[in-house]
Amino acid sequence: MLLAQSKVLQELNLSWNSLSGPRIGTALKQILRAPKLNVLDLSNNKLSGEAIEIFIGYLGRAKKLVTLNLSYNPMTPEDALKVLNKMKFNAVKVQNILMENVFVDGEFLLLLKQIKNMKTRKNTVITYGGVVGGFVPEGPDMRDLLLNRMEFLTTRGKKQKVDISLVVMQMVKDNYDIMPAKAFQDAIEATGAPVDSNLIDEIINTFPGPKTPKTKTIRLKLLVDYINRKWPHKKLPPTPPPEPEPEPEPEPEPEPEPKKKGKGKKK
C-alpha cells in the first residue's frame, strides 16, 4: 500500500468513509507502518469486532503515532477493552485514544485506572462515551467538574455574564473544530468572561485534539458533544433569515424616436 510507504504522511483523516470488515482492518494495519504518521482519524465509520482486533494488534509498530481517534464507531465494550489493553505495553507510543460515543463496562474502567497509574502513561488521554452494566465509577467525572465550574463563573457570578457553552457552540457552527490551545484561550478571554487561564487549560486537556510538535489543541466538537448531553436545553438562537434584496428599479422605457420628415416631391 502506497500510504504505508509514505515518508511524509503525518496526519491521515479517514472519517466518514463507512469503513468496516476484516479487509479494512488489514489495510489499516499496513497504514500503521507509515514511519511519520502521528494522527490517525478513523471516527464516524463502521469499525468493530474483527476489524478493530486486526489493526490494533499492530499499534506497537506505529512508533510516531500520537493520536488515534475511534469515536462514533459501533464498537462494543469488548472492542474498547481490547484497544485499552494495548496501552499496557511500552512499545505502544500512542498518547491519545479517543472513543467518544463508544460505551464501556466496569472492566474497562478498572483497567483504565491501572493504566493511568503507570509512570509511562501519566499524560495519556483516553476518552469514551458512557458506561453499561450498572457500574458506577469511583469519583466525579472531571468533565462535569470543569463545566460546572465554568458555568458558575460565567453565568451565575456577579461579574459579566457570558455563556461559554453557547460561545463554543457558535464556534462549531462556524466550522471550527480542532483549534490551537492559544487561539482557544484568546477566543474565550475576548468574550470578557471571568475565567482564569488554569480552568481554560484544564478544559483543553480534557477535550484534546491532536498534538502537534509546537502546541496542543482542543477538539471543539468533543466539547460541544458533551455540552449537548449535559445541558440539552442549551441551544443557539435561530439564525435570522437574510434580508431580501431590494428589487431593482425598472429601467425607464426608451423615448420614441422623432419621426423623420419626408422629402417633398420635385415639381
- Listed residues 95, 113, 139: the one ending a domain: 139
The cell 509546537 sits on which residue? 214
The predicted structure's pLDDT at residue 41: 95
**3: pLDDT confidence band, cut at 50, 70 and 90?**
confident
**What phi and psi values does residue 26 have, to the nearest 5 degrees?**
-65, -40
Residue type, 69: N
82 sits in which H/E element = helix 77-85
Q: In angstroms, how far apart are the furthest CA atoms of the chain? A: 124
Which helix (H) or strand (E) is 54 found in, with range?
A: helix 50-56
Other Cβ atoms closer than 10 A to 51:
26
Distance separating the N- and C-terminal Cα atoms of the chain: 101
Grid cell 477493552 in the structure block, residue = 81
What is the C-alpha separation between 69 and 96, in angstroms, rounded? 8
> Which comes out higher in pLDDT, residue 97 or 103?
97
What's the rounded Cα separation, in Å, for the pair 128 and 104?
Answer: 7
State how far the Cα of 71 lies from the Cα of 75, in Å rounded to an integer. 9
* Domain carrying residue 28: 1-139
Looking at 119, 139, 159, the residue that finishes a domain is 139
Regarding whether 116 and 44 lie in a shared domain, the answer is yes
- 2 and 121 assigned to the same domain: yes
Banded pLDDT at 22 (limits 50, 70, 90)? very high
Claim to verify: residue 15 and residue 116 sit in the same structural domain: yes
Does any domain span residue 260? no
Distance CA 123, CA 181 (A): 16
pLDDT at 240: 74
pLDDT digits over 128-168, tens only? 987 776 555 556 677 888 888 888 878 765 556 788 899 99
Instruction: Kindly state whether residues 24 and 104 are assigned to the same domain.
Output: yes
Q: Are residues 72 and 146 located together in one domain of the fold?
A: no
pTM of the model: 0.54
Assess whether pLDDT exceeds 80 at residue 246.
Answer: no
**What is the total residue count of the chain?**
267
> In the predicted model, what is the mean pLDDT of the chain?
85
Same domain assignment for residues 92 and 66: yes
Question: Residue 123's pLDDT band (boundaries 50, 70, 90)?
Answer: confident
- 165 and 128 in one domain? no
**Residue 262 clears pLDDT 60, i.e. is over it:** no
- Alpha-carbon span 120 to 165, nearest angstrom: 34
CB-based contacts of 192, cutoff 8 Å, min separation 6: 160, 162
Confirm whether 262 is domain-assigned: no
pLDDT at position 14, please? 95
Domain end, chosen from 115, 139, 163, is at 139
Q: Are strands 39-41 and 96-99 parallel, antiparallel or unpaired?
A: unpaired
Domain assignment present for residue 251? The answer is: no
Q: Kindly state whether residue 266 falls inside one of the protein's structural domains.
A: no
